[in-house]
Amino acid sequence: MTNRVFLAWRDPESRRWLPVGQLSRESDDFRFVYTKGAEESERFVPFGRMTDLHAVYVANELFPLFSNRLMPRSRPEYRDFLIWLGLDPGDHDALELLGKSGGARATDALQVFPCPEPTPENTYVVEYFSHGIRHLPQSARERIGDLTPGEALLLLQDLQNPNDPSALLMRTADPLSIVGYCPRFYSAEFSKLIALVGPDKVKVTVAGVNPDAPLQFRLRCRLSAPWPAGFTACSDDVFQSLG
């Protein structure tokens, strides 16, 4: 069961994604705190009535900021939605759905994501959807449609990216085609993993292809790597709680 997710916000000018909040569950309550990423941009505005960046907000129901990002079970496409996320039909936990789907809406620049935890085999594993597909040429979108689950993808540093010095492109092997970006809120951590364990041990594979889904759910990827000794995920300063 997922008990902690982060909320990322995209700065409208720099286009930088910053983790600005953490949602967690403790017993029967939900707890929300802002993180130091919220102080990284003068353009960030607190959410709704949660105006104090240093407060701890507790509720026995999921905060509207997050509940409004869950697809209602009554929607006719809800079953397809679960398939896009790689989940079986049935009831699923709200935090799991938020972490798997990203909770993104077309009307804002927010995204929810989980913080990876070591598996029993001491492995770093996280699934995410490819970003930036809408900026790719039609030939690249067609190549995505030809991918198969388990197919390997290669990571490339996008060194000339002005918005994210840690940006990571994903491409196929043969024929070569760019198929999107790793999410920016993960790119720095993925780059750190590559430096710690070596590029050959960081594996990215196709977890699922959803040809009929919106672009944000089109290509689901899975990154895995050995968990380095002493490594802590989501440990950069911007992830630290202000509350």
Q: What domains can you pick out in the chain, each with its CATH number? A: 4-115 (no CATH), 123-226 (3.30.70.2330)
Per-residue pLDDT, averaged over 71-99, amounts to 93
Taking 80 as the threshold, does the pLDDT of residue 129 lie above it? yes
Look at residue 18 in the predicted model and tell me its pLDDT: 94
Per-residue pLDDT band for 1 (boundaries 50, 70, 90) equals low
Span 174-181, mean pLDDT?
Answer: 92
pLDDT score recorded for residue 3: 85
The band of 16, judged by pLDDT with boundaries at 50, 70 and 90, is: confident
E-state strands within the chain: 4-10, 17-26, 29-34, 56-59, 110-114, 123-129, 152-157, 168-171, 178-181, 203-209, 219-226
Amino acid 14: pLDDT: 87
Mean pLDDT of the chain: 93
**Rounded mean pLDDT of 98-124?**
91
What stretches of 69-226 adopt beta strand conformation (E)?
110-114, 123-129, 152-157, 168-171, 178-181, 203-209, 219-226
Instruction: State pTM to two decimals.
Output: 0.92
